[in-house]
């Protein structure tokens, strides 16, 4: 009686509280197949004993102590027979507490001791199940399966033992990747519902496995059973709805699922799941209405409480949506967000995101340069009166924005004062003022009133509010920012004095702007195949009347784009190049386009490049130049072209000298600026400039 109602009662209570704490800290990853048993186990199968003892939750440690106490103080081993019927229960409790502490070897010892010494114990069948589960954790699935099959041959097992045994054997078969056996035993386990939590979990795993086996109808049936299961925990119900979304395969199903998700979004009980619900709404609508999908994705971000896998997926979906809409600056910003919050940098998904972001680096750089320099040059082109009017309007808008912000901060400060009155006043005489909660609260609000929200970074005093577009899309973010509270912030002269007036400085800004437009045109054409964006940038560039070294390749790229589109504008650009630059490489390429030597042997571009490269190594420079020209025409538009161009440039350098080498490198650098070959050409040009001088 003392063992059962005192020692073991307290031990089982400690185990129960430990399980509550363990489950409260455990988070399921519903994006992957759930484990049948929600227990986080260290990767190391045989962990260091002392470390595990140190890391054991206090409740499990207490449960183990009570089990040991029951054996040591209350065992009645008389004539080799245990007279206390509760000792086998004590060993079972000992094994469970060790199991939940991830100390599986000593747990197995406890279970084996019961099976060996107490074969007629009232909990012997439960002990066999726990022994099998421990064997699975110790990667001895075959023995666990054999033991459980032997147990299930007993026709007198209770429904609860059968349910637990089928669940345990499914755990073992999952380790052996025998999914058919897993579904077989899980289906038998859900015939009874002695444990509502485990039954719902078994159904959820069944639905996920059926989807992996391409059995969509069976998968939906399993998830629907969870939805209809009244006693199932709500987290399984809501995620069952979400899992059914992943099974949508046609338009009709999509429309029906969208309506279901909208109803779930309106339900206030689903507020913790709004990030996931809105994400899936976006995924279902993105093909038909990309703007609406983006709106759903933004709602998902808004409702994300923490940086988790769901938030990464939403950022990725937003980035891909903007990427597909050719809004590359916004796409790059969302890809950056993924790389900042992800905890899985080495996964395939994140590596793909990183590659896409790297491809956008040059686009973002040159787009920012072009916009910044355009805004400066627009200010330069204004008259004094126009500048006066522009910045006066700018300052009016700035004052209004500052006033609105101060009013908001004042309201927050008033709320803080009211809240501080409810705080317990501390006696801070002779103490550091940061120990006074009220003083710290006032200090924070005063700081916000003066500076606003500031991140912990260098130059935090500089205002970020000067990026304001008032009219004519002219920005002033390029001008020196003004400290909040400074008198100069509201003076027109402060801004007009920063506008460059030196012809040298203005020419430098123009040259940088023109170069950015050209590089954007080439990148959009060659790398992203966005011909509309490429033509927009290049044609706008020509309106600036840039220097010939940019004008000529710009016209050539426009000629190639319009030729591929069968556009009549191609003829005009062709005539411009041939008539205005008859001796240029571009003119020769256009005029000799049909004089391509074809090779009868079918080889890959890489094989052909390798053959030409070996000729270069053998110093057959004339042959290299000729074959490179033929290959460039033959594989026009292919990724191999920059390699042939650079190889041809090196052959020209070896054959005709350093001046010709620089001209050939200029051609590569100008036409393929975003490739490794273009960057290499630019690097070599900078190296040989001094030699040319």
CB 320 within 8 A of CB 349: no
User: What is the Cα–Cα distance from 370 to 139, expressed in whole angstroms?
Assistant: 61
Cβ atoms of 200 and 226 within 8 Å: the answer is yes
- The answer, yes or no, to whether residue 430 has pLDDT greater than 90, is no
Interval 504-525 mean pLDDT: 92
DSSP letter, residue 5? I
Residue 79 falls in which region: left (phi positive, over 0), alpha (psi -120 to 50) or beta: left
Question: Nearest 5°: CA angle at 513, between 509 and 517?
Answer: 175
Closest to 145 measured CA to CA, from 155, 135, 154, 153: 135
- Hunting for tokens 């107490």 — which residue is that? 118
Tell which residue, 228, 216, 159, has the closest CA to residue 190: 159
Residue given tokens 């094989």 in the structure block: 607
pLDDT at residue 355 tops 90: no
In a 10 Å sphere around its CB, with 0-12 CB exposed, 13-18 middle and 19+ buried, how is residue 204 labelled? buried
Residues contacting residue 76 through CB under 8 Å, at least 6 positions apart:
82, 83, 84, 87
What tens digit of pLDDT does each residue of 636-645 get?
767 888 889 8
In this prediction, residue 241 carries a pLDDT of 95
| CA–CA dist 668, 659 (Å, integer) | 15
Quote the CA–CA distance of 251 and 72 in Å, as a whole number: 68
What's the pTM value of the predicted model, to 2 decimals?
0.71
Q: What percentage of residues in the chain have a pLDDT greater than 70? A: 85
pLDDT at 647 over 70: yes
Reported as type and span, the H/E element at residue 118 is: none
- Collapsing DSSP states into helix, strand and coil, what is residue 607? helix
Q: What are the pLDDT digits (tens) for 291-331?
A: 999 999 999 999 887 768 899 999 999 999 998 888 888 99
Contacts of 125 (CB under 8 A, 6+ apart): 151, 154, 157, 161, 165
> Mind giving me the DSSP string for 86-107?
THHHHHHHHHHHHHHTT-HHHH
- Per the CB < 8 A criterion, the answer to whether 556 and 538 are in contact is no
Q: How far is CA 180 from the centre of its chain?
A: 33
Which band of pLDDT confidence, cut at 50, 70 and 90, is reported for residue 362?
A: confident
Q: Which tokens in the block code for residue 658? A: 């350093």
Percentage, residues of the chain above pLDDT 90: 48
| Radius of gyration of the chain measured on its C-alpha atoms | 36
Examine the pLDDT at 507 and tell me if it is beyond 60: yes
Average confidence (pLDDT) over 73-86 = 82
Segment 569-613, tens digit of pLDDT? 999 999 999 999 888 888 888 887 655 444 444 557 887 887 788
Q: What is the mean predicted confidence (pLDDT) over 428-433?
A: 53
Residues 265/242, Cβ–Cβ less than 8 Å = no
What pLDDT is stored for residue 78 in this prediction? Answer: 79
Task: Confirm if 185 and 166 have CB atoms less than 8 A apart.
Answer: yes
Q: Which residues contact 423 (CB under 8 A, 6 or more apart)?
A: 437, 438
DSSP letter at 594 equals T
- Ramachandran category for residue 473: left, alpha or beta (phi over 0 → left; psi -120 to 50 → alpha): left
CA–CA separation, 550 and 439 (whole Å): 62
Query: Secondary structure of 442-472 in the HEC alphabet?
Result: HHHHHHHHHHCCCCCCCCCCECCCCCCCCCC
89 has a pLDDT exceeding 50: yes
Local confidence band at 469 (pLDDT 50, 70, 90 cut-offs): very low
Other beta carbons less than 10 A from residue 311's beta carbon: 21
Residue 504 is predicted with a pLDDT of 92
The span from the CA of 115 to the CA of 438, in Å, is: 64
Q: What is the pLDDT of residue 441?
A: 63
pLDDT range class, residue 452, cuts 50, 70, 90: low
Give the confidence band of 45 by pLDDT, cuts at 50, 70, 90.
very low
- The H or E element that residue 374 is part of is helix 348-381
pLDDT for the residue numbered 157: 92
657 phi/psi in degrees, rounded to 5 = 105, 180
Position 220 confidence tier, pLDDT thresholds 50, 70, 90: very high
pLDDT for the residue 487: 64
């Amino acid at each position: 009686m003392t063992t059962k109602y005192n020692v073991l009662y307290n031990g089982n209570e400690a185990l129960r509280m430990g399980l509550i704490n363990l489950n409260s800290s455990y988070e399921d990853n519903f994006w992957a197949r759930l484990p049948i048993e929600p227990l986080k186990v260290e990767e190391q199968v045989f962990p260091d004993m002392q470390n595990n003892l140190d890391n054991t939750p206090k409740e499990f440690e207490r449960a183990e102590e009570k089990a040991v106490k029951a054996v040591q103080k209350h065992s009645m081993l008389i004539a080799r027979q245990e007279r206390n019927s509760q000792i086998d229960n004590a060993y079972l409790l000992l094994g469970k507490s060790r199991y939940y502490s991830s100390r599986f070897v000593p747990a197995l010892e406890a279970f084996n001791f019961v099976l060996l010494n107490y074969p007629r114990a009232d909990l012997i069948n439960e002990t066999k199940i726990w022994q099998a589960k421990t064997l699975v954790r110790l990667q001895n699935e075959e023995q666990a399966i054999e033991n459980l099959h032997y147990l299930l041959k007993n026709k007198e097992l209770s429904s609860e033992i059968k349910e637990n045994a089928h669940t345990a054997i499914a755990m073992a078969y999952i380790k052996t990747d025998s999914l058919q056996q897993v579904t077989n035993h899980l289906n038998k386990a859900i015939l009874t519902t002695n444990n509502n939590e485990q039954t719902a979990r078994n159904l959820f795993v069944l639905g996920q496995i059926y989807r992996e086996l391409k059995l969509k109808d069976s998968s939906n049936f399993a998830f629907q059973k969870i939805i209809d299961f009244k006693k199932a925990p709500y987290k399984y119900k809501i995620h069952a709805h979400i899992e059914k979304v992943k099974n949508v395969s046609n338009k009709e199903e999509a429309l029906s699922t969208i309506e279901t998700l909208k109803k779930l979004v309106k339900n206030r009980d689903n507020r913790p799941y709004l990030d996931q619900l809105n994400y899936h709404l976006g995924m279902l609508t993105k093909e038909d209405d990309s703007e609406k999908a983006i709106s759903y994705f933004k709602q998902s971000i808004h409702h994300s409480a923490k940086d988790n896998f769901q938030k990464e997926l939403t950022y990725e979906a937003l980035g891909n949506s903007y990427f597909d809409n050719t809004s590359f600056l916004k796409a790059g910003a969302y890809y950056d967000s993924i790389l900042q919050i992800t905890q899985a940098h080495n996964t395939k998904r994140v590596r793909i995101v990183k590659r896409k972001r790297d491809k956008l680096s040059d686009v973002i750089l040159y787009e920012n340069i072009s916009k910044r320099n355009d805004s400066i040059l627009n200010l330069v082109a204004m008259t004094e009166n126009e500048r006066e009017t522009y910045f006066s309007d700018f300052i009016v808008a700035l004052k209004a924005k500052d006033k609105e912000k101060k009013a908001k901060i004042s309201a927050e400060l008033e709320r803080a004062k009211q809240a501080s009155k409810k705080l317990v006043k501390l006696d801070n005489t002779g103490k550091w003022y940061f120990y006074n909660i009220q003083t710290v609260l006032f200090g924070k609000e005063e700081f916000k009133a003066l500076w606003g929200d500031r991140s912990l970074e260098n130059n935090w005093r500089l205002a970020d509010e000067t990026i304001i577009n008032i009219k004519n899309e002219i920005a002033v973010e390029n001008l020196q920012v003004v400290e909040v509270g400074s008198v100069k912030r509201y003076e027109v002269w402060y801004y007009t004095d920063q506008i460059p007036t030196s012809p040298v400085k203005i020419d430098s800004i123009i040259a940088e702007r023109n170069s950015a437009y050209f590089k954007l045109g080439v990148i959009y054409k060659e790398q992203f195949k966005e011909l509309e964006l490429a033509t927009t940038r290049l044609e706008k560039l020509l309106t600036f009347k840039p220097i010939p070294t940019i004008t000529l390749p710009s016209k050539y790229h426009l000629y190639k784009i319009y030729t591929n589109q069968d556009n009549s504008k191609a003829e005009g650009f062709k005539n411009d190049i041939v008539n205005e630059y008859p001796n240029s490489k571009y003119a020769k390429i256009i005029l000799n386009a049909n004089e391509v030597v074809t090779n009868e042997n079918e080889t890959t571009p890489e094989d052909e490049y390798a053959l030409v490269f070996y000729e270069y190594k053998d110093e057959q420079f004339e042959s290299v130049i000729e074959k490179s020209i033929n290959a460039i025409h033959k594989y026009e538009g292919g990724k191999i072209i920059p390699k042939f161009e650079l190889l041809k440039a090196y052959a020209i350098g070896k054959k005709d000298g350093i001046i010709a080498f620089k001209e050939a490198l200029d051609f590569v650098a100008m036409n393929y600026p975003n490739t490794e070959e273009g960057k290499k050409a630019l690097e070599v040009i900078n190296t040989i400039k001094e030699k040319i001088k």
